[in-house]
Amino acid sequence: MAARRIPLVCGNFKLNGSRSMLEGIAKTLNGASLSSNVQVGVAPSAVHLDLMRQKLRSEVMVGAQDCWTKGSGAFTGETSADMLVDLGLEFSIVGHSERREKGETSAEIGEKAAYATSKGLMVIGCIGEKLEHRESGKTMSVITEQMQGYLAALKEEEMWSDMVLAYEPVWAIGTGKTASPEQAQEVHGELRDWLKTNISEKVAAETRILYGGSVTEKNCDELIKKEDIDGFLVGGASLKPEFVQICQAPGN
């Protein structure tokens, strides 16, 4: 792993949690031994963002699971990057497959990423293919189509400095199936080559690419050894005490 790419482990709580449950997670993370050389973050539901930022130690980042393309207006139910910044949050996830399944386009997701980075948030932009795409050899064609949304919106090279990519094979999310370290590295490596060809060598070298898709304490150590895997976007396992072990893996 290139030294300039600081490992990142982020927990996506999805639509889970109560005040008492999340206070318990915060207590576990606050008491954990976390490496200063690894960034750790959590993304609770929108209603729990402020609670987690108040309860968690400052070294652990708190961010949203999604954000809107604009700052304010008649957009019922949306959350703006401006609001996240106002809460003292550090990042937002965009483009998760569960939202793409609801109809979000790559173009809209790119707009969300561009607006959030313009407000100083780190953005974790998700990409990933379904099982039928992998089995038919279309993994990279699907991923590069999804990347076009980010490419069109993040028009200047410097806009990529706050971007993190998360490769999440849809067939591995919440299924218990995980891409092998070799499968994950193959996609991460090809994605880095795409960044080099379509943006710049600098962006390719510096952009962190996380792996997501049934990451657990049992497979994280092998995955993180791969050259182009810079950390993890963790789903269900981030709600368990074992999340600490996943956070520690990149620093071991």
Known active-site residue 156: no
Q: Which of 48, 90, 96, 217 is catalytic?
A: 96
Torsions phi, psi of 91, nearest 5? -155, 170
Active-site option among 90, 98, 104, 168: 168
Residue spans of beta strands (DSSP E) within the chain:
8-12, 39-43, 60-64, 91-94, 122-127, 163-167, 208-211, 231-234
Question: Is 222 noted as a catalytic residue in this protein?
Answer: no
Residues designated as active site: 96, 168
